[in-house]
Amino acid sequence: MVSAPHRRRAEYVPIAVCLLTAVGLSAVSLLGLLARPTLLRAGFTLVGAVVALVLFVASRGEFPDADGRVPASVVTKVVLALAGGAVVATSLLGSRLLPFAVVLPLGIALAALQIRADPSVPAVLTQLSALFLAGRLGKYLTTGFYFGGTDTFAHVAAVETLVEARYTTAIAHGYDLYPVFHFFVGTVTHLTRLGAYDALVLTGILLFTLVVPLAYLLGASVFGSTRLGLTTALSVLLLEFFSYHALYFYPQALASLLLLVGIYVNSRLLDASDERTYRRLSVFALLLVGTMVVTHHLTYLLFAGVAAAAVPVALARPSLLPTASGGRWPTLRYRWLFPGVVGGALLLAYWSYSPSLIVVGIVELSLGVLFDVATVPPARLYTYGVTLPGDSVGRAVQWLSTPTGVYAAGLGSLLLLAAYELLDHLGRYRRGFTLAVTGLGLSALLLPFPIPIPQIERLKFVVTLVAVFPLAVGLRRALAVDGRYVAVTLLVVASLGGATAFTVLAADDVEGVYTDERREQVSMTDAEFRAIGTTAAFVETYASDDVATDRVTNRAFETADYNATRVLRARPSGLRTGADFVVVRERWTDHLVALGLSLRSSEQNVFTLSEERFAATEARSNVVYATDAVRVYHSPDGFRGLYGENGTAATNATGQ
């Protein structure tokens, strides 16, 4: 029982955070450090702080007795029916927006209500797994060929090549040195007779669905609490990167799942009560580490940063919890560290023996930028016949009400609540202290930034692996509210759960959910994908290497074993290239179109154009090949001013 004076002192912290947030935003506004629309979007921090204050004050940190609850078997049947019905409705409607906007918040609220009471672990895990699986199947059914950040094209082509050639050296992009992902998906392709794309995406969906029970095992082991294990499982449904990478499934996603398994095995090692169990887990850990080494590369470099952040927390733990005599982690012993030590040694040895071209490229570029001997070309946006809406106060306020804004405020509130709970009941989290505090400190990276940071999504994904721990703590505190305020908690958790499935990342394929902004294309219909394949066959036959196109089209060409090697550039006067052939697509008129193939490419510009400019250009161009979605233009002297002011393809272009 917490005394009234102690509770009053504890409440000063969240009140102070709210006041400091308000003062900080006001100071930034007065100093003019951020534009007014950007500052208004940052208002999600104040919303989150206020929600965290309300939940903290309304909760006691202890769960009240719950009588007369509905049997878990009945709730499970209801949730399964809702999840299945949402998938069927999505298939019939051709859209997942309405079915899952209703089902996900309702199902998550029912699961949260059971966790608050005396939960049945199998029942709750079944419900959470069904909701996660249904949401991902809904996206699978409505996206045609979903490629996310375009890496899917390369990995589909690699799986097809591996299945046909049956040897790893045929895999491109240096992944012949890291073939576990392609072997795994290739095995599914071979056994199920599914196409490489369907096998890849469905494998990702099923593996990430298994993260729900894995998160429970991990949370229960780390915290030593069944309820915290269930809130850890619930956290999987409230973090957008799990939803996103279930479909945008590639080697880093698989490596991240193996990291979660490794954290769980390491936790079990610490709890091993006899040498026999310890040795068996040690053998499994060594086999797992060996598999992880040849699964991916960048994942472990990023996770090394997370591990480095955990070291000072682990060292400070004995001082912060001085009464924890005989705790699980009294010192940094080799018994605890050996899987990471062995894994790091194997990784360095493997890189020395067969260095990855991707890792070498990342290191070279990073050192070049650091020492100012290399630069990443800035990306500029060019518009041809289109006037994009400017940023405004009204658009900023509208953003706060979008799923992305609700997600940011809801996630921020639960993370703040976790911080207050740790301060209020630090001794309760002797187990799991290091992971909870480390995850809490790093989880700030998961919130929106006022400025874009290239490629930060990969780091955020790794941080998500440890963010489940503080989020589980915040959920536990939120669900411990007094019965009079339980509706407030359920509203916050359900809103966050519903918003997570429709953020600009997790629902990047959905049109009309956000403000009227054009975004890069992330999926295409099956017909468009087939059209790109037939176009690749045409240009390979008749154009050879004298072809230019955009990034998405060129990545899609990889699935047809073709690559356009000439550069297409965007300039104020229009597109230009020295190539004789240009491959264009009608979908360019709906999206932002990126050029170049990588961060090291000399062309990083982005463009968008109107349907009128596209049609006018096509009417004046020499179209040598056409499908419903793809065109091939030909000009013996190259192209300059394509889609420019006059809307025509100009000849006599200089080679670029």
**pLDDT of 132-144, one tens digit each?**
999 999 999 999 9
User: At which residue do the structure tokens 């490596």 appear?
Assistant: 255
Is there a contact between 356 and 297 (Cβ–Cβ < 8 Å)? Answer: yes
Check residues 650 and 592 and name the one with the higher pLDDT: 592
Per-residue model confidence (pLDDT) at position 297: 81
Mean pLDDT of the region 506-527? 83
Check residues 322 and 538 and name the one with the higher pLDDT: 538
Per-residue model confidence (pLDDT) at position 276: 84
Answer yes or no: is pLDDT of 231 > 80: yes
User: At which residue do the structure tokens 């939120």 appear?
Assistant: 478
Q: What percent of the chain has pLDDT over 90?
A: 59
Task: Enter the tokens of residue 246.
Answer: 């279930």
Please choose, from the candidates 122, 14, 108, the residue with its C-alpha nearest in 3D space to the C-alpha of residue 59.
14
Task: Enter the tokens of residue 75.
Answer: 């709730």
Per-residue model confidence (pLDDT) at position 64: 62
Task: Note the pLDDT tens digit of each residue in 170-192.
Answer: 888 778 888 999 999 999 999 99
With 0-12 / 13-18 / 19 or more C-beta atoms within 10 angstroms meaning exposed / middle / buried, residue 191 is: exposed
Mean pLDDT of the region 181-206? 95
Per-residue model confidence (pLDDT) at position 9: 58
Per-residue model confidence (pLDDT) at position 256: 94
Q: What percent of the chain has pLDDT over 70?
A: 87
Lowest mean pLDDT among 287-291, 439-443, 453-457, 466-470: 453-457
Predicted confidence band at 649 (pLDDT cuts at 50, 70, 90)? Answer: very low
What angle (nearest 5°) sits at the alpha carbon of residue 348, between those of residues 344 and 353?
Answer: 145
pTM for this prediction: 0.91
Per-residue model confidence (pLDDT) at position 650: 37
Check residues 551 and 60 and name the one with the higher pLDDT: 551
Check residues 553 and 602 and name the one with the higher pLDDT: 553
| Buried residues in 130-161 as b, exposed as e (16+ CB within 10 A) | bbbbbbbbbbbebbbbbbbebbbbbbbbbbbb
User: At which residue do the structure tokens 């608050």 appear?
Assistant: 116
Please choose, from the candidates 255, 336, 346, the residue with its C-alpha nearest in 3D space to the C-alpha of residue 302.
255
Check residues 649 and 80 and name the one with the higher pLDDT: 80
Most confident of 173-187, 233-247, 346-360, 530-544: 233-247
Predicted confidence band at 602 (pLDDT cuts at 50, 70, 90)? Answer: low
Count other C-beta atoms under 10 Å from residue 300's C-beta: 22
Predicted confidence band at 317 (pLDDT cuts at 50, 70, 90)? Answer: confident
Instruction: Return the bridge partners of 381, or none.
Output: 606
Please choose, from the candidates 507, 417, 512, 372, the residue with its C-alpha nearest in 3D space to the C-alpha of residue 58.
417
Mean pLDDT of the region 597-613? 81
Distance CA 647, CA 44 (A): 43
What angle (nearest 5°) sits at the alpha carbon of residue 470, between those of residues 445 and 434?
Answer: 95
Distance CA 118, CA 121 (A): 9
Mean pLDDT of the region 224-246? 96
Check residues 455 and 398 and name the one with the higher pLDDT: 398
Answer yes or no: is pLDDT of 56 > 90: yes
Q: Which residues have a Cβ under 8 Å from the Cβ of 621 and sit 6 or more positions away? A: 633, 635, 648, 649
Task: Note the pLDDT tens digit of each residue in 492-513.
Answer: 999 999 999 999 899 998 876 6
Instruction: Please tell me whether residue 650 adopts helix, strand or coil conformation.
Output: strand
Which amino acid belongs to residue 506?
A
Q: Which residues have a Cβ under 8 Å from the Cβ of 209 and sit 6 or more positions away? A: 129, 132, 133, 136, 246
Largest CA distance in the chain: 84
Predicted confidence band at 5 (pLDDT cuts at 50, 70, 90)? Answer: low
Which amino acid belongs to residue 19?
L
- For 481-583, where are the alpha helices, taking DSSP H only? 486-500, 526-542, 551-557
Distance CA 180, CA 294 (A): 6
Predicted confidence band at 279 (pLDDT cuts at 50, 70, 90)? Answer: confident
Mean pLDDT of the region 354-369? 57
User: At which residue do the structure tokens 């489940």 appear?
Assistant: 468
Task: Note the pLDDT tens digit of each residue in 545-583.
Answer: 899 999 999 999 999 999 888 999 999 999 999 999 999
Answer yes or no: is pLDDT of 110 > 50: yes
Task: Note the pLDDT tens digit of each residue in 422-447.
Answer: 998 888 898 889 999 999 999 999 99
Task: Note the pLDDT tens digit of each residue in 28-53.
Answer: 989 888 889 999 999 999 999 999 99
Mean pLDDT of the region 50-65? 82
Per-residue model confidence (pLDDT) at position 506: 92
Predicted confidence band at 12 (pLDDT cuts at 50, 70, 90)? Answer: confident
Per-residue model confidence (pLDDT) at position 391: 84
Distance CA 65, CA 70 (A): 14
Per-residue model confidence (pLDDT) at position 341: 79
Answer yes or no: is pLDDT of 375 > 70: no
Predicted confidence band at 457 (pLDDT cuts at 50, 70, 90)? Answer: confident
Per-residue model confidence (pLDDT) at position 357: 54
